[in-house]
Amino acid sequence: MSASNQEDLILDLKGVNVEFDVEAGKLHILRDVSLSVPRGSFLCVVGESGCGKSVTAQAIAQLLPNNGRITSGEIVFNVDDERIELQSLEKFGAKMRSLRGAKIGMIFQDTLSSLNPAHKVGRQVAEALLQHTDISKEEARERVVTLFTRLGIPDPRRRYDAYPHEFSGGMRQRVMIAIATICEPDILIADEPTTALDVTIQAQILELLKDLQKNEGRTFILITHNMALVSEVADHVAVMYLGRVVEHGTTQQVLFDPKHPYTRALLKSVPALDADKNEELKTVDGQTPSPADVTRGCEFAGRCPYVADICRGETIEMRTLPGNHQVRCVRLDAQGQLPIFQIGGASE
Amino acid sequence: MGLAISALIFFASRLSPIDPINSLIPPDSAIDPANLAKLRQQLGLNDNIFIQYFHWLKEMLVGNFGYSIQNGQKISDILAQRMPATLELVLSALILSTLFSLTLGLFAGANRGGFADKLSRVLAVIGISVPDFFIGIALLNVFAYRLGWLPTGQRISPGETTLWQRMPHLVLPVATLTFAMLAVLIRYTRNSVLDTLNKDFIKTARSKGVPEWKVLWSHVFRNSLGPVMVILAFRLPLLFGGSVLVESVFQWPGIGSTIVSAVTASDFPVIMVISMIVATAILVSSFMVDIIKSILDPRVRLGGSVTS
Amino acid sequence: MSSKKLKVAREDSTLRILLRQFLKNPAGVAGLAIVTLMILGAIFAQQVTGYDQAAFDVTASFHSPNWHHLMGTDQLGSDIFARVLYGGRASIYIGVLSSLLGNLIGTFLGATAGYIGGKFDAILMRISELVMTFPQLILVLICVSLLGQGVNNVILIFAMTGWMTTFRLVRGEFFSLREEAFVEADRAFGFSKSRIIFRHMLPNTLSPIVVAFTVNTAIYIIAEAGLSFLGLGVPITTPTWGNLLAAAQSPVVVNQYWWLWVFPAIAIMAFVFGVNFIGDALRDVLDPRQRTASIKRTLLSKIIPGRSSKKGNS
């Protein structure tokens, strides 16, 4: 499922499978996930809670919890003219650690719990810098203060010595962004960075991220369940369902010409500002099954309005439509169109 | 709080048949009945019991602790003699047990199923079931009698003057007392460490590429200390109680054995004074632990929100 | 067919279910076995050993363990085994009764304080705080100096200095129970306060109380041992395990006549182990929260990936 060879891919996931050990056995969380991320692009990974998008991010950074592991597949990271297979590196080994923070930056969702409450904020940002560069503490402090200014944190010098609980949510997120970007990593992975914030602050943070991408040429992977965000910032979109990538393409393709039934349902369920208030809000039928339950065929079969017998057979392969628009649906015809009719459910 | 206890004891002791005057005057002052009566009046022994209590309290604050019924010694002298011994014991045990439990607890939490973890579990079981002083006796038996490595009790052997020379005497009693504290402290440290390891900011630290040892030390350990300090404060009383038994086993001339002999002889003045002292000591140490806690947790310090 | 169904319904009373579960727990069964064995031994001390614990034979003094005297003899030639078994009577009696009494006081106070709240509760909390921060042993010593020694005094003293933990436990439970719907319903029905407290709310808090009872028994047995070791507990005329241990106060004994104190110590440890095992098993069996918690854990772990299914292991 890789893209054309001409593209400069900073990250290329090929058939990654992740399993978790739980009391009841093993949970197959990521199924054959393949994603190619061109350098300098902004990718949004979307899906419902539990679809595996966070796990994907963790897998890339090799920060899976103790009971999780990558069982197969490759995660190729191309940086500094070097081709590194991340999944083969030791989790806390020197090589992987030299990448984390320096080449791969991470931004987390819950800022209050993601920052050490006992350390000053400035120190936490400087920690990343001091880990990867050989500079003095004073020099690090200066750089952090500069970054704070750049990221819009007022009174940066004083704020350096403040503690996380003294900041508002939006400011804390900026601190997290500072931590992630201070070493100027090539790729940034943000896991629902704005979910806990007010809408206005959300917009600010997003703008900040987009700005970082444009002006500093960084690659972004933004994980979210909020489709509205996607349209604002993403170049590419990957839709995930139950551990599988079901659709992947440019924002234009996925948002305005969605092919996969799940994507279409997802988009329809986003309340639009100009929607008729009296119309029922469309939801996706049914409930997300547990990863332990689905084993054969299409994961979405149980809720899909287009389901047919063929959907419950073998694992559905990813199909590439013109324009490198990838869809994992077996109901698409040769032109990549879904059938006009559906089984039950409301009309299109 | 100490006041309440001392008041209780004071009133109760007045109920005993022993004439309190014996504790208020030096035993060898020549007493003839006439003087005795006058002295009684002077010392306020004919007054209302509440007044007597306040009188006694006043004397305490000044430092006039009265005299022991048993041997007529000035109580303040007894204290001066025996306090250092107990302090040696208690402070050493406190420091050692804190150090040990923190390190062991840290490793137990960080390496699930590792040596430290198993050790802490074993210690926990032993700690609950075995009487602390028995450990002392057992240790005495093995190390002092059987192996003859360490002296068989007491604080000093003839000819020893410096602390260094006296060290061997300290080993077993301190070890016993330390052990008593260890079992519980290790378990709490371990749990605190485990809780901290699950926190999100550990993930952030790792995402920066920080090496594991630094994550453990700078992030995990630092944040696990808080709850442990709270438990430590709660356990302080046990330290004092434990020292009584340990002093008895090892014939250690400290406050603990003093109070035992005082109780045996119904020497109330001594009992009262020592209880006051113990109460104060505990108050002071809890206060200090509170201070340490606020240093550790900036949220408490700055009076900011304590919600995590 | 219908008579069969009726039978099943009647058989599965809560008590039986709990009993069955308890018996499945190996540690619990082991504990129960140890404890029962020792209690029986204590009661039938004379029959088991063939010696009267008070009998002495000076010619046989300080004999090390041999076939006649499995645990040796003491200074007066009394059989240690008999003394240990007999000593169990007083020790276990003290342990159980102190725990019972302390629990009763604590439960009663905790229930009323938890339900009524207000000043009554505040005062009790103050008192319990006061007593808890003071070293228990020293407190006990002080009480001994005021009240004197003896088995019953010791029980009284232990109960008076130890009711606080049960008090806080029950009080806490009652605070949360107070908000429950069935209490409001009771109030609406016009039930008297004491009826509500004791017949309706209390049964719900029974499990932690029972567990506390076992834990405290172990604690008090050890406490009695310590007290008697110092010579301030039960006078030597009534042997207890602590009493017997007191022999180890003399260095000669510790060095040469180890059987005098090792066996009582082992007795204490064995019994306490047994009681603790029972307590642990009871806790697992009785605490409904633990049970539903583990069910919840398994469910959650199936649904949410990455969520470790073992939360907060002790």
Backbone torsions φ then ψ of B122, nearest 5 degrees: -60, -45
Would you state the pLDDT for residue A346?
Answer: 45
Chains that touch B (3 or more CB pairs under 8 A): A, C
Backbone torsions φ then ψ of A189, nearest 5 degrees: -115, 120
Would you state the pLDDT for residue A175?
Answer: 92
Q: Does B197 contact chain A (CB < 8 Å)? A: no
Q: Of the candidates C76, C53, C82, which has an alpha carbon nearest to the alpha carbon of residue C63? A: C76
Partners of residue B148 in chain C, C-beta under 8 Å: none
Helix/strand/coil for C239: coil
Q: Do B134 and C245 touch (CB under 8 A)?
A: yes
State how far residue C111 is from chain A, nearest Cα, in angstroms: 38
pLDDT digits (tens, 9 = 90+) for A88-110: 888 888 888 888 888 999 998 88
User: What CATH number labels C85-290?
Assistant: 1.10.3720.10
Would you state the pLDDT for residue A125?
Answer: 92
**CA distances for A342 relative to A305, A308, C35, angstroms:** 5, 10, 71
Q: Give me the residues paired with residue A44 across strands.
A: A222, A237
Strand A68-79 vs strand A42-46: parallel, antiparallel, or unpaired?
unpaired
Q: Do B200 and A114 touch (CB under 8 A)?
A: yes
Q: Of the candidates C28, C27, C53, which has an alpha carbon nearest to the alpha carbon of residue C42? A: C53
State how far residue C302 is from chain A, nearest Cα, in angstroms: 7
Please state, in angstroms and rounded to a whole number, the distance separating the CA atoms of residues B252 and B258: 10
With contact defined as beta carbons under 8 Å apart, do A107 and A176 qualify?
yes
Q: Do B248 and C249 touch (CB under 8 A)?
A: yes
C interface mutation test: which of A18, A22, A240 has the most C CBs within 10 A?
A22
Please state, in angstroms and rounded to a whole number, the distance separating the CA atoms of residues B22 and B26: 8
Q: At what angle do helices A121-132 and A169-181 cross, to 10 degrees?
A: 10
Q: Give the pTM.
A: 0.74
Answer yes or no: is pLDDT of A44 > 70.
yes
A263 pLDDT band (50/70/90 cuts)? confident
Q: Which CATH superfamily is domain A1-103+183-348 in?
A: P-loop containing nucleotide triphosphate hydrolases (3.40.50.300)
Please state, in angstroms and rounded to a whole number, the distance separating the CA atoms of residues C74 and C63: 7
Answer yes or no: is pLDDT of B20 > 70.
no
Partners of residue C302 in chain A, C-beta under 8 Å: 22, 24, 27, 290, 292
A144 pLDDT band (50/70/90 cuts)? very high
Q: Of the candidates B248, B292, B275, which has an alpha carbon nearest to the alpha carbon of residue B79? A: B275
A 10 A CB-CB count for B94 gives 19
C288 pLDDT band (50/70/90 cuts)? low
With contact defined as beta carbons under 8 Å apart, do A98 and A44 qualify?
no
Write the CB contacts of A278 (distance below 8 Å, at least 6 apart in sequence): none
Answer yes or no: is pLDDT of C10 > 60.
no
Q: Does B163 contact chain C (CB < 8 Å)? A: no
Handedness of CA C212, C214, C215, C219 (dihedral sign): positive
Q: In what order do the strands lie in the sheet with A25-38?
A: A25-38, A9-22, A68-79, A82-85
Structure tokens at C212: 């506390």
Residues of A with CB under 8 A from a CB of B: 61, 63, 92, 97-102, 105-106, 108, 110, 112-119, 124, 127-128, 131-132, 163, 165-166, 176, 179-180
Would you state the pLDDT for residue B17?
Answer: 47
Would you state the pLDDT for residue B26?
Answer: 53
| Site of tokens 């234009």 | A252
Q: Does B259 contact chain C (CB < 8 Å)? A: yes
Would you state the pLDDT for residue C305?
Answer: 45
Strand A42-46 vs strand A236-241: parallel, antiparallel, or unpaired?
parallel
ipTM metric: 0.80
Partners of residue A64 in chain C, C-beta under 8 Å: 306
Helix/strand/coil for A46: strand
Measured torsion, CA atoms of residues A295, A297, A299, A300, in degrees rounded to the nearest 10: -150
| More confident position, C126 or B13 | C126
Would you state the pLDDT for residue A344?
Answer: 52
State how far residue C174 is from chain B, nearest Cα, in angstroms: 24
Strand A82-85 vs strand A68-79: parallel, antiparallel, or unpaired?
antiparallel
Say which of C130, C137, C145 has its CB closest to residue B241: C137
B interface mutation test: which of C35, C128, C139, C146 has the most B CBs within 10 A?
C146
